[in-house]
């Protein structure tokens, strides 16, 4: 007779992996055997904070007893430690630690770095903290992911040297804010970076390092950089971002938030940098690069040719492109229809790119291999039945269909959209929600009154045509203005058997439909009168 207690030790963590904290806490009270099996799972993630009340949410937190923690070090996989906690929490070695996160108080950071005070002796607590941090990284060389966030006690040379020379197989480094306040520490920081495969560096404050330009980062495949204007001392200079990029020969994915370039005071050096970047692309400096994510890649103001030229010069097979606040104009669109970009599978266009409704439709009607597409809006009136959508492999579509305020016969036009959507039978994710629109007054087609005329999602308007989307798992219709209700929900349960997440709003309470969804295990975030 096999019951749950007969399952061997090794299987219980597989179950525990799918349980939330409340469920595990309940399991601990079931029986001695359950307690023994599931207690290690509770200790997989440990968060140490410096006060009893979470300042942001106001939730009372129960502090962790360090002696209890000492008996459970073998179970900890993810250790998150805030600053200004007792040193004892830094003296622990976790033999199976995978992720380590050190979080500081950001307001303390900005006052210290901007006042440039670090030349003098550090206040006592910071000195202890620096020593504590060093001890923690020395004791935990199994760490794969290190997250360092706005630390008021900036890591010193020893911190980074320890990581560089003793950590077994680091993979991901995610650093925000100050990482090194002396040249020696900065050198050690960059050397440590050469051991990682993924780097995310946001608003980095690091002393100038002369060795950066001599280093290569052979393991880095993923890079996420947020440049800051180099005007404040120690903020990583834009040109150093480029030096770093060029030192990553195995780079596969680049996320670059170049928001500093938009500041006019930098426009001259920014031009030179973008040109250098483009030349590197043209010369195939990154032979494995196939995924790009740009935000604000323009100089002074949007409308430039930077993106078009970049795409033109791109030598590889581009698989994924994500853009925000970068001018994506007709010329860029024309380029994407070129056979060179047959490899493009993922295209996500967020706000501020100047993408018009016709341009978005052009992609759906001309790019057969796109699998994930996101844009801000499409006017229902622009959908032409004589120009069918060709992207038969589309599995995820995020776009808001709206009517121009002046449009008369909306019902007929809505059916055109339904006819096209119904053919996209590989869709697993369909999000027609308003929030995804995100277009602003700077977008050429923005017109406030259009935003309230969304596609009618009621059954009587044609929702039933979408019964062909049998693989659908996610359906979003947030802020749509035609009220969907019980009939629609029950229809969705009936026809979309794989649906597991629903986001939108309803007219009134529909208890029976909600119960049906719960029985199916559908996660829903619905709002409406009475809910």
Establish if 6 lies at the interface with other proteins (CB under 8 A): yes
* Count of residues interacting with other proteins (CB under 8 A): 52
Segment lying near other proteins (by CB under 8 A), choices 213-221, 387-395, 440-448, 519-527: 519-527
Establish if 31 lies at the interface with other proteins (CB under 8 A): yes
- For residue 421, which of 397, 386, 456 has the smallest C-alpha distance? 397
CA 289-292-298 angle, 5° bins: 125
Establish if 444 lies at the interface with other proteins (CB under 8 A): no
Segment lying near other proteins (by CB under 8 A), choices 18-26, 384-392, 451-459, 502-510: 18-26
Establish if 62 lies at the interface with other proteins (CB under 8 A): yes
State which residue, 72 or 285, has the beta carbon closest to other proteins. Answer: 72
Segment lying near other proteins (by CB under 8 A), choices 40-48, 266-274, 380-388, 504-512: 40-48
Establish if 63 lies at the interface with other proteins (CB under 8 A): yes
d(CA 201, CA 332): 29
* Minimum CB–partner distance for residue 26 and other proteins (Å): 5
Establish if 143 lies at the interface with other proteins (CB under 8 A): no
Segment lying near other proteins (by CB under 8 A), choices 151-159, 344-352, 436-444, 520-528: 520-528
Establish if 84 lies at the interface with other proteins (CB under 8 A): no
Q: Which residues of 348-369 are buried (b: 16+ CB within 10 A; e: fewer)?
A: bbbbbbbbbbebbbbbbbbbee
Q: Do residues 385 and 353 make contact, with C-beta atoms less than 8 angstroms apart?
A: no
Segment lying near other proteins (by CB under 8 A), choices 5-13, 114-122, 251-259, 375-383: 5-13
Which of 36, 61, 334, 425 is close enough to bind other proteins by CB under 8 A?
Answer: 61
State which residue, 338 or 494, has the beta carbon closest to other proteins. Answer: 494
d(CA 120, CA 372): 53
Give the SS3 label for residue 200. strand
Establish if 32 lies at the interface with other proteins (CB under 8 A): yes
Which of 42, 66, 415, 419 is close enough to bind other proteins by CB under 8 A?
Answer: 42
Q: Which residues of 503-530 are buried (b: 16+ CB within 10 A; e: fewer)?
A: bbbbeeebeebbebbeeeebebebeeee
| Residue 16: C-alpha distances to residues 10, 31, 38, 74, 198 (Å) | 11, 16, 7, 16, 28
Q: Do residues 322 and 293 make contact, with C-beta atoms less than 8 angstroms apart?
A: yes
d(CA 422, CA 472): 11
- Burial label for 55, CB within 10 Å (0-12, 13-18, 19+), is exposed
Which of 82, 203, 410, 500 is close enough to bind other proteins by CB under 8 A?
Answer: 500
Q: Which residues sit at the interface with other proteins, rule CB under 8 A? A: 1-8, 10-11, 14-15, 17-21, 23-35, 39, 42, 44-45, 47, 61-65, 68, 77, 98, 144-145, 473, 497-498, 500, 521-523
């Amino acid at each position: 007779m096999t019951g749950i207690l007969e399952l061997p030790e090794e299987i219980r963590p597989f179950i525990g992996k799918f349980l939330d904290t409340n469920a595990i806490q309940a399991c601990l009270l079931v029986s001695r055997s359950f307690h023994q099996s599931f207690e290690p799972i509770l200790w997989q993630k440990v968060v140490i904070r410096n006060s009893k009340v979470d300042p942001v949410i106001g939730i009372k937190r129960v502090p962790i007893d360090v002696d209890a923690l000492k008996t459970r070090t073998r179970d900890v996989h993810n250790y998150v430690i805030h600053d200004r906690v007792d040193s004892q929490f830094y003296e622990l070695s976790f033999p199976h630690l995978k992720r380590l996160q050190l979080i500081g108080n950001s307001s303390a950071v900005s006052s210290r770095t901007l006042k440039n005070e670090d030349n003098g002796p550090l206040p006592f607590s910071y000195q202890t903290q620096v020593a504590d941090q060093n001890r923690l990284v020395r004791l935990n060389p199994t760490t794969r992911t290190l997250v360092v966030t706005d630390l008021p006690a900036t890591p010193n040379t020893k911190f980074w040297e320890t990581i560089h020379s003793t950590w077994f197989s680091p993979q991901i480094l995610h650093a925000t804010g100050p990482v090194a306040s002396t040249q020696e520490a900065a050198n050690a920081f960059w050397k440590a970076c050469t051991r990682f495969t993924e780097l995310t560096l946001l608003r980095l404050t690091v002393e100038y390092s002369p060795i950066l330009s001599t280093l290569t980062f052979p393991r880095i495949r993923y890079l996420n950089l947020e440049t800051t204007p180099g005007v404040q001392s120690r903020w990583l200079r834009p040109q150093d971002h480029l030096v770093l990029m060029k030192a990553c020969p195995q780079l596969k994915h680049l996320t670059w938030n170049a928001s500093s370039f938009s500041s006019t005071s930098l426009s001259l050096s920014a031009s030179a940098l973008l040109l250098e970047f483009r030349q590197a692309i043209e010369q195939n400096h990154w032979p494995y690069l196939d995924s790009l994510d740009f935000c604000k890649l323009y100089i002074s103001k949007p409308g430039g040719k930077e993106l078009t030229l970049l795409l033109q010069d791109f030598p590889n097979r581009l698989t994924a492109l994500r853009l925000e606040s970068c001018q994506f104009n007709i010329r860029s669109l024309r380029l994407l229809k070129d056979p060179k970009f047959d490899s493009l599978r993922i295209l996500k266009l967020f706000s501020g790119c100047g993408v018009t409704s016709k341009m978005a439709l052009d992609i759906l009607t001309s790019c057969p291999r796109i699998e994930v597409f996101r844009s801000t809006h499409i006017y229902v009136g622009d959908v032409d039945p004589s120009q069918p959508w060709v992207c038969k492999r589309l599995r995820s579509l995020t776009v808001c269909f709206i009517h121009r305020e002046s449009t008369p016969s909306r019902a007929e036009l809505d059916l055109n959209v339904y006819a096209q959507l119904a053919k996209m039978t590989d869709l697993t994710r369909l999000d027609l929600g308003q929030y995804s629109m995100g277009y602003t007054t700077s977008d050429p087609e923005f017109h406030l009154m259009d935003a309230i005329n969304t596609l009618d999602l009621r059954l009587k308007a044609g929702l039933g045509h979408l019964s062909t989307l049998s693989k659908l798992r996610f359906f979003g219709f947030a802020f749509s203005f035609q009220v969907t209700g019980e009939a629609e929900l029950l229809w969705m349960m009936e026809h979309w058997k794989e649906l597991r997440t629903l986001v939108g709003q309803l007219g009134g309470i529909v208890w029976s439909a909600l119960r049906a969804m719960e029985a199916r295990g559908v996660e829903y975030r619905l709002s409406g009168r009475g809910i």
